[in-house]
Structure 1
Amino acid sequence: MKVNGVNIVEKETRYSELTEYELQQEIAQLKEKARKAEQLGMVNEFAVLERKALMAQAYLLNPEDFKPGEIYGIEGDPGVYFRIDYMNGVFAWGYRLGGSGQEEALPISMLNRKK
């Protein structure tokens, strides 16, 4: 970013470094920006902001609550289930049941306990 012709380096803050309150503020701002993008028909911008909000939400959850071998529903994808093989931080690595069999990582905020 340039201010009066001078390059200014902005420090990018990681979600893992934010407090619970700061994460909640960030999520609220992202959701508001996403709402505005949706109203303006900016589909790609909306999708990016929604994904960022999901990432921030993952840092409000406890990864220890998500267990390898268990099956979870996927937020926003009804009827599709995900089996966790292993955890890495706030990401669950595994496979969609009945899917292509390709391993993928989902932020834990996208997972719902299967009923």
Structure 2
Amino acid sequence: MSTEKRYSLMTKHELEQEIANVKEKARKAEQLGYVNEFAVLERKAIMASCYLLNPKDYKPGTVYAISNDPGSYFKIDYLNGVFAWGYRLKGEKKLEALPIAMLDNRSEGGKQQ
């Protein structure tokens, strides 16, 4: 029985390989019309991508665009590991967590508020 290694214990190279493998599986699932499998694999790739980022680059009180969701923004209240906890702007103001890989951290992405 194969045991999977935790993303937090993988090297940068291992994470990059894992992301490539998962994205390839997701592409095949999408082509075959396996919508649920595609969604799970996409989320898995996002989670692996989080461990290539530095959570210290994401600041509480800052608003970030949400990747792959044009016009949606997220304001971070606090971070816990690779998850940013906060609120979507123009949303229900319900506390939620997003993986930091879903937040656009480019210079024009984050705005202090």
Same fold (TM over 0.5): yes
**Cα RMSD, aligned residues only:** 1.1
Once the two structures are aligned, what percentage of the paired residues are identical?
67
Alignment deviations for residues 59-84 of structure 1 (CA, whole Å, 9 cap, x no partner): 00000000000000001111000000
Note the 1:1-115 alignment, pairs <5 A: 8=1, 10-113=2-105, 114=109
Q: TM-score when scaled to structure 1?
A: 0.89
Equivalent position SS for 1:78 = coil
Identify which of structures 1 and 2 has the higher relative contact order when contacts are C-alpha pairs closer than 8 Å and 6+ apart. 2
Q: Which runs of 4+ in 1 moved over 3 A?
A: none
- In structure 1, distance between residues paired with 2:59 and 2:51: 16
SS in 1 for 2:4: coil
Unaligned ranges ≥5, structure 1: 1-7
Shift of 1:11: 2.5
Q: CA deviation at 1:58?
A: 0.4
Which structure's residues are more often strand, by fraction?
A: 1
What is the distance in 1 between the residues matched to 2:38 and 2:11? Answer: 25
TM-score (norm 2): 0.91
